[in-house]
Amino acid sequence: MKIVSTEELINHKILPYNLYSEFGEKLFAAGEVLTPGKLLQLRHVGSLYRDEEVQVVEQTETGLASPGVKTVSKAKPDVVIETFDMKQSTILKNKLSVDDIDIIGYRGPVNKKAKIDPQTQLKIKVFYGKILEGIDEKSPLEMLGMFANVRDKIMQDIISESNEVFLSSQLKLLGEYNKCHALNTAILSGAVARKMNLPENIIYDVVLAGLLHDIGKNVLPQELFSKNNLTNQEQKIFQDHTKIGYKMIKVEMELPENIARTALDHHENNDGSGYPNGKSGERINIESQIISVCNYFDNLTSNRTPHKVKNTKEALRVMLGLGTQKFSAEALYTFIHMFSYNDTVNFEEMIL
């Protein structure tokens, strides 16, 4: 077998060969459509291998692709190996990088108490802001590439160092809520998932799900988010962001169910009093349980709830008061115990 890179794979829409892990496990068979979701899964695999001889993908009379067992030959003009549109694949491979973003002249606030490097704070905020600015024009593939790039930056530069963090305020990004909330939720959720000793691929999924959990809000009337009191009808429209987000992640981005489910379930409560489906307990998947805690914490510390708090200690007291009626016990108490309860730094003192 020959080793193959994800950069090579991204140029194929339909696999021309069988794909194996380093342990010889067949991951995908020749002839399978290589969706963006499958590409994302393969990024978690250490090493990828393909067959020694490339298998062909032939067009059938129905126009659907099916795998063959021959090698590619110039004498077979009817052999077709489809590829992604090169403009899109080039975008995904080469142009969407947090590290390449220009922050010269950017004047957004930095958390001077954070363990996150100030340049990293600025870069991921600016990059995420660019995602939001053009979300209506971007293709699902381009959106997926951008979100995955932010996820990888968070995993490599923040979550890998999270064992050194003792205060939740050390992980908080400061600035406009709409540019920081998903990032904060993703960062905190990844740290909690790591503390719970979940498998690395699940931690990656939790971070990506944290970035995407509120994506459905982007298609709602934006005036809903500037109102203090919503009518019953407006509240119903607002709550639909969970269903809209689920559909966008599952159908448009073609991502796995566990990631899409977090968008649907992150407002479900442990006692069944949440929305949209009134789920409770173990019916709420672990990713959603984690994101529910971290989503609420960031809303709380951003003064987006009825409870006004000045520091993390006050926020944790509120969350303990809500307890296991609202949150999964494991996710809540992992969150509480991984940080110092005496984190009394006022949020205003964190701003540089």
Three-class DSSP category at 53? coil
Rounded CA separation 68/161 (Å): 47
Q: Which of residues 29, 53, 84 is at a domain's end?
A: 84
Helix H or strand E encompassing 26: strand 26-28
Per-residue pLDDT at 104? 86
| Total of domains in the chain | 2
Considering the domain architecture, whether residues 44 and 187 belong to the same structural domain is answered as: no
Say what the pTM is.
0.78
Burial state string for 292-308 with b = 16 or more CB within 10 A and e = fewer than 16: bbbbbbbbbbbeeeeee
Considering the domain architecture, whether residues 119 and 240 belong to the same structural domain is answered as: yes
Query: pLDDT tens string for the chain (352 positions)?
Result: 788 887 678 777 788 888 887 666 678 888 888 777 777 777 666 678 887 655 444 434 333 344 443 333 333 333 333 333 333 433 344 456 899 888 888 888 999 999 999 999 999 999 999 999 888 888 887 888 899 999 999 999 999 989 889 999 999 999 999 999 999 999 999 999 999 999 999 999 999 999 999 999 998 998 888 887 899 999 999 999 999 999 999 999 989 999 999 999 999 999 999 999 999 999 999 999 999 999 999 999 999 999 999 999 999 999 999 999 999 999 999 999 998 888 999 988 999 8
* The one-letter amino acid at 136: D
User: Residues, the chain, total?
Assistant: 352
Query: Model confidence over 101-126: pLDDT tens digits?
Result: 888 888 889 999 999 999 999 999 99
Considering the domain architecture, whether residues 236 and 287 belong to the same structural domain is answered as: yes
Rounded CA separation 172/115 (Å): 9
The number of CA neighbours under 13 Å toward the Cβ of 150 is 32
Burial class from Cβ neighbours inside 10 Å (0-12, 13-18, 19+) for residue 98 reads buried
Considering the domain architecture, whether residues 117 and 220 belong to the same structural domain is answered as: yes
Helices (H), the chain: 6-9, 36-42, 86-90, 118-133, 140-157, 177-195, 200-212, 232-239, 241-247, 257-265, 286-301, 312-326, 329-338
Considering the domain architecture, whether residues 41 and 101 belong to the same structural domain is answered as: no
Considering the domain architecture, whether residues 321 and 188 belong to the same structural domain is answered as: yes
Considering the domain architecture, whether residues 166 and 302 belong to the same structural domain is answered as: yes
Considering the domain architecture, whether residues 177 and 76 belong to the same structural domain is answered as: no
Instruction: Give the contacts of 260 (CB within 8 A, at least 6 positions apart).
Output: 245, 246, 249, 250
Map tokens 């991921």 to a residue: 124
Rounded to 5 degrees, what are φ and ψ at 4? -135, 145
CATH number of the domain where residue 108 is located: 1.10.3210.10
Three-class DSSP category at 274? coil
Rounded CA separation 307/17 (Å): 56
Map tokens 């990713």 to a residue: 287
Q: Distance of CA 36 to CAs 96, 116, 260, Å?
A: 15, 30, 14
Three-class DSSP category at 20? strand
Q: Which of residues 22, 57, 84 is at a domain's end?
A: 84
Map tokens 């409770």 to a residue: 280
Considering the domain architecture, whether residues 190 and 333 belong to the same structural domain is answered as: yes
* The one-letter amino acid at 216: G
Considering the domain architecture, whether residues 173 and 297 belong to the same structural domain is answered as: yes
Per-residue pLDDT at 60? 41
Q: Which of residues 61, 84, 107 is at a domain's end?
A: 84
Query: Model confidence over 140-177: pLDDT tens digits?
Result: 878 888 999 999 999 999 999 898 899 999 999 999 99
Considering the domain architecture, whether residues 74 and 107 belong to the same structural domain is answered as: no
- Contact call for residues 85 and 66 (beta carbons, < 8 A): no
Considering the domain architecture, whether residues 253 and 142 belong to the same structural domain is answered as: yes
Q: Which domain holds residue 325?
A: 89-350
Nearest to 38 by CA among 261, 287, 247, 255: 255
C-beta atoms surrounding 257 within 10 Å: 11
